[in-house]
Structure 1
Amino acid sequence: MLPMMLVLAILLPLVAAIGCYFLRVSAIRSLIVLCTGACLAAVSLALLGQGSFTYSPGTILGISWDSLVTLADFALLFVMLYYAFKLKNQLIKVFVILQIIPLAAFELFIVDHAAEVPAIFADSLSLIMVAVISVIGSLICFFAIPYMKEHEEHLHLVKSRQPQFFFFLVLFLGAMNGLVLSNNILWLYFFFEVTTFCSFMLIGHDQTEIAVKNATRALWMNALGGVCFVFGMIWAYAETGSLDLQVIIQSGSMGGAMLIPLGLLCLAGFTKAAQLPFQSWLLGAMVAPTPVSALLHSSTMVKAGVYIVLRLAPAYAGTFLSQGIALCGAFTFLACAAIAISQSNGKKILAYSTISNLGLIICCAGINTAWSITAAIILIIFHAASKALLFLCVGTIEHGIGSRDLEDMHGLYLKMPRTAIITIVGVLTMLLPPFGVLLGKWMAIESASGDMFVITMLALGSALSLVFWARWAGILLTAPLREKVPAESQSILTRLSLTALAGIAVVLSLFSPGIYTKLIEPMVGKTYEITAGVFSSPVGVFAVYPIFMILAAAFIYSWIETKKSVNVQNSQSYMCGANVKEPNVQAFIGPMNVPVDLKASNYYMKEFFGEEKLTLWVNFAALALIVLMLGGAL
């Protein structure tokens, strides 16, 4: 039964992707995506219920799976090299060649292929990741079915590119499942590179000049991460004599020379997770269709980076490398939260907040205590649900009103009531207790209490995050009262995806104490000493259930009072002069008796937190911290 579930989790998406590409009938492609998503979600939950395991596959037609992975790895690298020449990009050429040559030497002359290495290893972290990838990723794929139809109508395409789009979108899910389940580090590297190539193809999907430019940047930056991975992998093998990731982690706990390859592997994770100064590739990914943004930012690509750093955490615990990782993550969390304040573009706010929260997860890995690791896993789960929801909401809003700017979302409830309510739910799950994201931040700050620099950056970053989330929620809630709001037309799959993700973000928060006690505590307890903390009582120090009851009561009270106020007579605000008395006109008589239109806007503090003002300096500071981190390891 286990082999079949693993085949479905990793290889089914490949088969489905091929079907999406070659069976070019829209209804058949939609059916393939729906069936694959449902199957992946069911299998991921079944694996989660199964618990920890290791597994080594046999052979296929007399050929070992290790050999097939090796062949596929080199084939993929040469495909990437082909695109490097096609794009005439020297950086990609150099970085891909710097992977091919050392990897070939490693495979041919160094690795002992006769050694037995379990290809698959799963514990709670891996299985939680599989569930996040499969459930949330599948809902994003469902959303993409009607979305891409509208997207291509807006582009006025003569020939649909959906077969290629869904090929890479669905393949992405299998690659990520393979990555988080891999125990053989060569397998991990292969799936790492598959995600790099898939992201490159998806970001450049629309084939516009800006899309190709940003896809190229994503490819060379992640290829740089691939170089770090190859050299870190070879060095780790030289120190341990094993490709077994668990052996490498245990050897790393002794410190010494193992810190250098661990530092290189973590740097590969930094590039994949778009940490400063590598954030520009993920910001550029915003040009891609919304399902791509949601998939990259929530449940797949960037989570591969934080997974690697978090997986290796026991190996570098108590070292200078660990302290350096905590500082780098905390700085990214603070800097990107600051830049997000100056943004009015909904996608850019989500992009910067994603990079910021990934920095927080990496910081937790660097703090490297039981509570910080717990916080990191909690954040992975809840950030994925809330951020996927918000990206899909922004995409829906953009199709509905033709803009993703926050200032154009005033009174959204009167135009798109269902989407507006779901978007508010998504924002509140990022903002308020007792939802999981704030719970994770709470635990992270609590775990950093012994480090003045880290805890200061985490506290400031959390405060800055409050500003842009509260502003967004406030904008969505501003709408004049009306007795009747027009119904919103929405496809079934769009409604299903948005409603399901909103439900996951809220309902999982209700079960957060159970998630901790059943899944996280047993795994963390094997490596770290568990002490009393957030969940030290049935309701928890965080008081999950009492706060939920207070929120529910407040919501019911607000709803009743709002219904009562529908018939209240409203009057226009005083606007520095006599109001223009015309229906549906908001203006006042200004100087020289000339009507002046009312324009209300939020303050984005661009003179303090503007992207163009901070980016250069924060990148320089982040690079200095990375040099310090790796220098300490040396």
Structure 2
Amino acid sequence: MSNLLLLLVLLPAVAAAVCYFVRSHAVRTLTVVATGAILAVASLGLLGQGTFEPVAVGSFLGISSDFLVTILDFALLGVIFYYGYKHKSVLIQAFTLAQAALLVWFECVVLEHADVPALVGDKLSLIMVLVISVIGSLICIFALPYMKEHEEHLQLKKSRQPRFFFFLVLFLGAMNGLVLANNIMWLYFFFEVTTLCSFMLIGHDATPVAVRNSVRALWMNSFGGLAFVIGTMLVYAQAGTLDISALLAAGPQGALMVTGVGFLCLAGFTKAAQIPFQSWLLGAMVAPTPVSALLHSSTMVKAGVYVILRFAPAFAGTLLSDGVAVCGAFTFMACAALSIGQSNGKKILAYSTVSNLGLIICCAGINTPLAITAAVMLIIFHAISKSLLFLCVGTIEQAIGSRDIEDMRGLYAKHPRTALITIIGILTMLLPPFGVLMGKWMALEAGASNIYVIVMLAMGSALTVVYWARWGGSLMASRNADAPAEKQATLIRLPLTILCVGAVVLSLASPWIYNSMIAPMFDVAPFTMSFGSLDAATGSFAVVPLFIILGLGLLYAVKAASGFRTVRVMPPYTGGINAAEDGAYVGPMNSIVPFAASNMYMGELFAEGKLTPVFNALAVALIVLMLGGAL
């Protein structure tokens, strides 16, 4: 087991160094592919071995591992401060210096340096390791041909890929360390490593807009780091330990500790880009698409929701728990509304990500076995579908030169494979019997007892249908029988296909995933499994029966559409006489009016510029109330 842990945490760091120092495309490709394969196998091996109690990590070259992590903490803060100074950001410098000052006082004056087991593997940790190692590795592999074409488009004289893949691969090791950490100071270290990695990747292209957005991401997440340090100090002041397993086993231990956990939740909010911190993740869309996919699916933002889920037992039954639920539900609803007014594909995905993360955080706040089950199911299936959709948008953007969904209209006619995979990805986010919808159903059932939460969840769910259905419908088209086949690089096609098949197959297997991986987390499991369905007192989700119906319907649709290429396609009727030109009609004064189709975005009602300040102000008020409830 120790070898697997070392592989999962340290191998990405070694591979990152190889990518940076060995400036060979062939070596870099081999390193990334081999590292991804090893991480995937190691994560499956760790899952197969099962959970393990907290374990200590020995010394390195005679230096205590805890002391080494402390030194690395300060070194990391020094690097972040340097970039704050370089970019003249007072906020980064202030938040970094505050963290450093508090850490010096805490380490030298307050903390009694006792041995705390560094790593632990419960069900939640093992599931997160699997998500990070498999999905994150596929994204890194996808990035190999993508970044080559990306740099050709930018016409760079010198490739920046060594640095890019250094931070991309390092991200995986940092995330594995974060979710396996049992010592809060280790958790903080890996938390800050993800902050630095995201900053470097968002600003990778070095354009003014990329630099500006990377700096914003850094100061917001540095604020989260400061909240993390304050929370750690308050928790230690009450509980007298940094052992996460011991803290969770003891449950809430007084107002001081619950307040500390509230600050840890605030740190999770910043990392998960919850309102009012969503702007850093939206700005991250300027980065190359593999960065967006990694941040949104298996690394950065999942670190935020993981922290809140990890410490959920420490605030169960408190007002803080209710506050977290309300804040998460508000973000879910608000970002779903903001998605309605967007036509930029990556921005829709970004708002959708923040919205779904809000739903996961809401479940952590509801804090019942049913709600925690919903949160874990959403983490798994959202990571698969969202990474797939981001990679699809990147592929589409390089194919048509745009990420606007209006420009994707009728994409199937020219790029059928990419369009079909994108449609399947959208359906897995939208409809039953797929895993994301099942997770939302569980969340709605769990939130039914809180009127404020259930109203916001219901409204957010309804708005979600609008922007997904609108996008999916835009991709539909007919394809000529003699149209040339779509060409894709192998390392583009392979991740897309694996993620697409995985989203469907794992949804079909969701009852067994729940039964083997999630149900053992609870003394009394919220569901029982029978005939491929998940059953509870509140209702059932018939996964396998719904898949059978879906399969039969798909076969009928394919048969019914089998002769479409021989049918004459009629132009649309738009209230006038069809003209000779395709898609045109005779309009007023006998003029020829070309036909154009477009979605409705209701810009006046869902204007981003109007809604964002209001939502931000409301979110700040809710967070203040949440922390006040902890006191």
The TM-score range, normalised by the shorter chain, is over 0.9
Say whether residues 1:497 and 2:492 are aligned partners: no
> 1:253: how far off?
2.2
Report the residue type matching 2:584 in the other structure.
A
| Alpha-carbon distance in structure 2 between the residues aligned to 1:204 and 1:530 | 45
Equivalence for 1:633: 630
Q: CA deviation at 1:537?
A: 6.3
Equivalent pair of 1:294/1:392 in contact (CA under 8 Å): yes
Deviation at 1:328, TM superposition (A): 0.1
Counterpart for residue 18 of structure 1: 17
Map 1:388-407 → 2, pairs under 5 A = 388-407=387-406
Matched, 1:612 2:609: yes
Q: How does 1:368-387 map to 2 (within 5 A)?
A: 368-387=367-386
Instruction: Tell me the secondary structure at the aligned position of residue 561 of structure 2.
Output: helix
Asked if the contact 2:414/2:479 (under 8 Å) is kept, the reply is no
SS of equivalent to 2:572: coil
Give the CA deviation at 1:564. Answer: 2.0
Distance 1:534 1:90 in 2: 54
CA distance in 1, matches of 2:344, 2:555: 32
Q: What is the CA–CA distance in structure 2 between the aligned matches of 1:595 and 1:537, rounded to whole Å? A: 60
Which shifted more, 391-400 or 604-613?
604-613
Q: Which residue of 2 aligns with 1:78?
A: 78
Write the distance in 1 (CA, Å) between the matches of 2:220 and 2:237: 26
State the 1:586 CA deviation. 2.4
Equivalent pairs, count: 625
The whole-number CA distance in structure 2 between the counterparts of 1:155 and 1:589 is 44
1:187-233 Cα offsets, whole Å, 9 max, x none, are: 00000000000000000000000000000000000000000000110
Contact 1:448/1:454 (8 A) holds in 2: yes
2:484 matched residue in structure 1: 486
Contact 1:252–1:262 (CA under 8 A) maintained in structure 2: no
Question: Could you report, residue by residue, the CA deviation over 1:540-586 in whole angstroms, capped at 9, with x for unpaired residues?
Answer: 2200000001111111111111112221122222334333314xx42
| Contact in 1 for aligned 2:532/2:544 (Cα 8 Å) | no
Q: 1:192-207 alignment to 2 at 5 Å?
A: 192-207=191-206
User: What is the one-letter code of the residue matched to 2:24?
Assistant: V
Distance 2:376 2:622 in 1: 24
Native 8 Å contact 2:532 2:545 kept in 1: no
- Offset of residue 510 of structure 1: 1.4
Q: 1:595 offset after TM fit, Å?
A: 2.4
2:356 counterpart letter in structure 1: N
Q: State the SS of the aligned residue for 2:448.
A: coil
Taking the aligned partners of 1:253 and 1:524, their CA distance within structure 2 comes to 18
Please say if residues 182 and 244 of structure 2, whose CA atoms lie closer than 8 Å, have aligned partners that are also in contact: yes
- Quick one: distance in 1 between partners of 2:112 and 2:261? 21
Deviations 1:242-291 (A, max 9, x none): 11112222344234321110100000000000000000000000000000
Q: Which residue of 2 aligns with 1:240?
A: 239
State the secondary structure of the residue aligned to 2:563. helix
> 1:43-122 alignment to 2 at 5 Å?
43-53=42-52, 54-113=54-113, 115-122=114-121
Does structure 2 conserve the Cα–Cα contact (< 8 Å) formed by 1:389 and 1:426?
yes
Whether the 8 Å contact between 1:240 and 1:251 is mirrored in structure 2 is: no
5+ residue gaps, structure 2, are 535-539
CA distance in 2, matches of 1:476, 1:549: 26
CA contact (8 A) 2:178 2:303 kept: yes
Give percent identity, aligned residues only.
63
1:599 aligned residue? 596
Q: Which amino acid aligns with 2:169?
A: V
In structure 2, the residue corresponding to 1:607 is in which secondary structure? coil
Query: Does the 8 A contact of 1:228 with 1:267 survive in 2?
Result: yes
Aligned twin of 1:519 = 517
What is the 5 A alignment of 1:554-565? 554-565=553-564
Equivalent in the alignment of 2:356: 357
Please name the residue that 1:539 is paired with. Answer: 533
Q: Distance in 1 between matches of 2:358 and 2:255?
A: 26
Once the two structures are superposed, residues 304-337 of structure 1 have per-residue CA deviations (whole angstroms, 9 ceiling, x without a partner) of 0000000111111111000000000000000000
Counterpart in the other structure of 1:346: 345
Post-superposition shift, 1:612?
1.1
Deviation per CA, 1:390-439, whole angstroms, max 9, x where unpaired? Answer: 00000000000111111111111111110011001100100111111000
Answering whether residue 224 of structure 2 is matched by residue 225 of structure 1, we say: yes
Q: Is the 8 A contact 1:483 1:567 kept in 2?
A: no
Cα distance change, pair 388–94 in 1 and its aligned pair in 2 (3 A): same
Cα pair 2:508 2:544 within 8 Å, conserved? yes
Contact 1:228 1:268 in 2 (8 A): yes
Task: Determine the C-alpha separation between the residues in 1 that align with 2:497 and 2:490.
Answer: 10
Aligned partner of 1:464 in structure 2 is 463
Structure 2 equivalent of residue 552 of structure 1: 551
Q: Distance in 2 between matches of 1:315 and 1:235?
A: 13
Structure 2 counterpart of 1:135, which letter? Answer: V
Residue 161 (structure 2) aligns with: 162
Match of 1:123? 122
CA distance in 2, matches of 1:626, 1:155: 42
**Contact 1:417–1:485, Cα closer than 8 Å, also in 2:** no
**Contact 1:390-1:423 at 8 Å conserved across structures:** yes
Structure 2: which amino acid aligns with 1:127?
L
Equivalent position of 2:537 in the other structure: none
User: How does the TM-score come out when normalised to structure 1?
Assistant: 0.97
3-state SS, counterpart of residue 121 of structure 1: strand
RMSD: 1.2
Query: In structure 2, what is the Cα distance between the partners aligned to 1:323 and 1:378?
Result: 21
| Matched residue SS, 2:120 | strand
Asked if structure 2 preserves the Cα contact closer than 8 Å seen for 1:393 and 1:422, the reply is yes
SS of the equivalent of 1:608 reads coil
Q: Distance in 2 between matches of 1:120 and 1:571?
A: 64
Please give the alpha-carbon distance, in whole angstroms, between the structure 2 residues aligned to 1:481 and 1:100: 60
